[in-house]
Amino acid sequence: MTYMYHIFFISITWYLMLVFHCGRPDGAFSSSQGPALHLFHVPESSLTPAAADRDRDETRPSSPSPAPAPVPLQPYFSIDLSEHIDAILHVKFLTRPPGRPSELWAVCTGGFATTVPGAVVLVNLTAVATPALARQTTAAASASALEVSVLSTPVAQPEGVMVAPTDSSIVYIGGISSHDLGVVDISVFSAPVLVETRRGVGMQLVGATRKDQPVWPRDSATAASADDAADADLVYMAGWGARGSLVVLNSSSASRPALQCRTPPSQDLQLAMANRVKLH
């Protein structure tokens, strides 16, 4: 089985963690279990130092507070996507409208799926992403209980997915077996549209933006600094392959991203198998 996870800031007191089962139908990670999303409630106290250590007087010697007991995690809701697609690979959370999570979506790439080539999968989690549901007992549901939209694209085996930092209705995808960048308009949940396929950008294209990188503790000052950063419009993407790269897109015009820069070809061997970008 292959599991991956993503953590999303919901409020000042709790986080939503999404663990997704890829459901890859072939190869080393094959499994009879189909793709699924599992939602967990993660209290902020389990991610930050104990309050006693944060608040104690550093000028007075004292023993550190004992480590908090591990917080048992159980999914409070699970969504089976098997009736829509046989695999997913990467997932991003998305709030609509931005900054006011009146709607919460999961945006997934299809990865090694065989039933829908080059897929982008949208799952509306709004009805199940509330603190009230997090306090309930574990539940399981078929995707038929939630809104799901699936779009096929020419990007072969899509892996990386990035929400444009300048327009949350635009997402960028890159493929495991493709050098293309897919630009997808998801402004209408029930009818996502492929806007453009940009050739020769790079493989996989797992990326990062100033808004996308998780920071704890996350507060209003942290969020504001991401919006005001000099590179707030830029998307940094890792190009996979025996000859790797770092690709930087300018999303000022989100549906028509411009190639801002790329590492020189002379460094491609040094960047072989580049797979992630972390911003500091």
> Is the predicted pLDDT of residue 190 greater than 60, yes or no?
yes
Among the residue ranges 123-132, 189-198, 230-239, the one predicted with the least confidence is 123-132
> Is the predicted pLDDT of residue 63 greater than 70, yes or no?
no
* Peptide bond preceding 97 in cis form (omega within 30 of 0): yes
Among the residue ranges 64-73, 147-156, 166-175, the one predicted with the least confidence is 64-73
**What's the Cα-to-Cα distance from 264 to each of 221, 245, 267, 271, rounded to whole Å?**
36, 8, 6, 10
Report pLDDT digits (tens) over 93-149: 888 766 555 788 899 999 999 999 999 999 988 888 765 654 554 455 555 668 899
* Peptide bond preceding 217 in cis form (omega within 30 of 0): yes
The answer to whether the beta carbons of residues 174 and 202 sit under 8 Å apart is yes
Average pLDDT over every residue of 80-103: 82
Average pLDDT over every residue of 74-96: 87
Backbone dihedral angles phi then psi of residue 24, each to the nearest 5 degrees: -60, 125
Name the residue type at position 161: V
> Is the predicted pLDDT of residue 87 greater than 80, yes or no?
yes
> Is the predicted pLDDT of residue 62 greater than 80, yes or no?
no
Query: How much is the pLDDT for 110?
Result: 94
Query: How much is the pLDDT for 10?
Result: 43
- End-to-end CA gap in the chain: 32
Per cent of the chain over pLDDT 70 is 67
Instruction: Compare 65 and 280 and report the one with higher pLDDT.
Output: 280
- Residue 168 region by backbone torsions, left for phi larger than 0, else alpha for psi between -120 and 50, else beta: alpha
Question: Is residue 137 packed enough to be buried (19+ CB in 10 Å), middle (13-18) or exposed (0-12)?
Answer: exposed
Backbone dihedral angles phi then psi of residue 130, each to the nearest 5 degrees: -125, 150
Among the residue ranges 158-162, 185-189, 208-212, the one predicted with the least confidence is 208-212
Query: How much is the pLDDT for 23?
Result: 72
Q: Is 16 helix (H, G, I), strand (E, B) or coil?
A: strand
Structure tokens at 100: 């006011």
Average pLDDT over every residue of 36-43: 79
Average pLDDT over every residue of 86-91: 91
Average pLDDT over every residue of 16-43: 68
The pTM of this model reads 0.79
Give the number of C-alpha atoms closer than 13 A to the C-alpha of residue 89, restricted to the C-beta side: 25
**DSSP one-letter code for 75:** -
Closest-CA residue to 254 (of 234, 226, 278):
234
CA–chain centroid gap for 19, Å, is 11
Q: Is 143 helix (H, G, I), strand (E, B) or coil?
A: helix
> Is the predicted pLDDT of residue 166 greater than 70, yes or no?
yes
Mean pLDDT of the chain: 78
> Is the predicted pLDDT of residue 11 greater than 90, yes or no?
no
Closest-CA residue to 184 (of 278, 276, 94):
94
- Order of strands, edge to edge, in the sheet holding 234-240? 203-208, 234-240, 245-250, 258-262
CA–chain centroid gap for 74, Å, is 21
The answer to whether the beta carbons of residues 277 and 238 sit under 8 Å apart is yes
Q: Is 84 helix (H, G, I), strand (E, B) or coil?
A: coil
Query: How much is the pLDDT for 148?
Result: 93
Closest-CA residue to 21 (of 66, 103, 79, 63):
79
